Amino acid sequence: MASHGTSCVKCIFFIVNLAVWIASVGLMVIGVSMLVESTYFWELFAEESIMPIAIMAILLGVLGFLIGFSGCCGACKENICLLVVNFLLMMLLISGEIVVGVLVFINRADVEESMTMGMTVTIKEHYGETKAATESIDFAQQKFHCCGASNVSDYDGSVFQTKAIHGDALPDSCCEEDTESAGSCSYTSPSLKPGGCVKSISDTIEGNDLTAVLVGLAAIIVQIIAVVLSCCLISEINSSDGY
């Protein structure tokens, strides 16, 4: 019969792995959504940068799913084989998260370049022509209070301007809400948002760097605790079986 301490360890271990399982399902959904709704994301990023991100999200989701499944089942059934699999996969996940975190930090400039390229092409060629392009650019300009990828001049010679009644016309999302009537936003509008979206988005991300680091560290610490708990469970089961 399991001791009170062992039961407590099993309970905590089960909860941690259940949380990992739930998070992995969410991660897989995000990855699949990025592929299914790829046209929306490709309006903001260069196409070649989206596919690897989506695939990475799906792979990490699958790995997390296997970790959660093996952990929950291993704890309930006190199955050493499943617990060992859980231990190895969790170590792999922790290593992968550290590598991904370092790569994201090192290649941040590449992400900004990809976004600049993707948004500029969309603004020049697709804004006002397709629903996905128009909605994604409008969302970015409204959310981050910006206009254009680098600046407002990205709209110069765009398909949107060539079809507009006025040659200096800009999207309504380039001006602050409730300050301009629909269709009246232009280069001379007093409510024109001056900055580009790539810089605004980058500044927002940089402003939350500490939060992201703390959340990442907390996740890794929880996973390390799960690794320690799996070792404790394996030891307890071996002891109870007389090994």
Q: Average the pLDDT over 130-153 and give the result.
A: 88
Looking at per-residue confidence, does 59 or 6 come out higher?
A: 59
Q: Distance (Å, rounded) from C-alpha 32 to C-alpha 46?
A: 18
H-helix or E-strand spanning residue 196? none
Q: Distance (Å, rounded) from C-alpha 33 to C-alpha 48?
A: 17
Looking at per-residue confidence, does 3 or 159 come out higher?
A: 159
Residue 193: DSSP 8-state: -
pLDDT band at 87 (very low <50, low <70, confident <90, very high): very high
Q: Which pLDDT does position 84 carry in this prediction?
A: 92
Please check the confidence at residue 75 and state whether its pLDDT lies above 90. no
Give the list of residues 6+ apart from residue 77 with CB closer than 8 angstroms, or none.
Answer: none
pLDDT band at 39 (very low <50, low <70, confident <90, very high): low
Q: Which pLDDT does position 130 carry in this prediction?
A: 83
Give the list of residues 6+ apart from residue 79 with CB closer than 8 angstroms, or none.
Answer: 73
Please check the confidence at residue 143 and state whether its pLDDT lies above 80. yes
